[in-house]
A and B are shown apart, each in its own frame.
Chain A
Amino acid sequence: DIVLTQTPPTLSATIGQSVSISCRSSQSLLDSDGDTYLNWLLQRPGQSPQLLIYSVSNLESGVPNRFSGSGSETDFTLKISGVEAEDLGLYYCMQTTHAPLTFGGGTKLELK
């Protein structure tokens, strides 16, 4: 199974600060069709997960453009350019290139 390792596990930020979360995969997530199926999700407290970014760098409709994704093969990054209060919660990367689908362990973004 693909293991996704997220760092850091916890991130403390002030409002307006820019932060990054790393997701490292145990194998390349480049699919034979040429796409890389690495998504980023946010789960706010008491809520369902919400898709932020799909296929590494594509912003889901309705998601603010302060969120951006980058990376390739095994190393991926989610960046938030100017944290807002509504961004607090648990961030997960997930891969859908290889079965079984897997999630990272999560990164908790909290206010400093």
Chain B
Amino acid sequence: QIQLVQSGPELKKPGESVKISCKASGYTFTDYAMHWVKQAPGKGLKWMGWINTYTGKAAYADDFKGRFVFSLEASASTANLQISNLKNEDTATYFCARGPYFDYWGQGVLVTVSS
């Protein structure tokens, strides 16, 4: 069965970096794009951008340009999200979701940024 399994929760200090993984199984990884979605505590969903899992090319929403990087380990059917220079407002749950229809989602990774 198709699954997206994400890495575990993270507790970080402001200024640190974090890398979140999303491992896909049950389908051909390079046939579908991977999207990233942010959900701040008690808030709605916000699209961060996506990565073409075949070419590795990424596109970012305006609010996620600069400190956010999407990458792949295609041989491991894994997509990664790295956030550098963490800020308090980065505290959120981060989801990966399979494109183009968002038909499968990871379980989410809670990243907490606190001094």
Contact = CB atoms under 8 A, between A and B. Distances in A.
A and B part of one assembly: yes
B105 A49 contact: yes
Nearest to B64: A100
A83 to B, nearest CB: 22
Nearest to A55: B101
Nearest to A100: B61
Given A39-B101, A41-B102, A99 B35 contact: no
B70 interface: no
Contacts of A67: none
A28 B94 CA distance: 29
B7 interface: no
A51 B44 contact: no
Nearest to A61: B103
A103 to B, nearest CB: 4
Q: What bracket does the count of chain A residues touching chain B fall in?
A: 20 to 34
Interface in A78-112: 92, 94, 96, 99-106
A105 B101 CA distance: 19
Interface in B42-95: 44-47, 49, 59, 61-62, 95
Query: Which 8 A-B pairs give the minimum distances between C-beta atoms?
Result: A48-B105, A101-B47, A103-B45, A100-B61, A54-B101, A51-B103, A106-B44, A105-B44
25 contacts: A39-B101, A41-B45, A43-B45, A48-B95, A48-B105, A48-B107, A48-B108, A49-B37, A49-B102, A49-B105, A51-B101, A51-B103, A54-B103, A55-B101, A60-B101, A94-B47, A94-B102, A96-B101, A99-B59, A100-B49, A100-B62, A102-B47, A103-B46, A104-B44, A106-B45
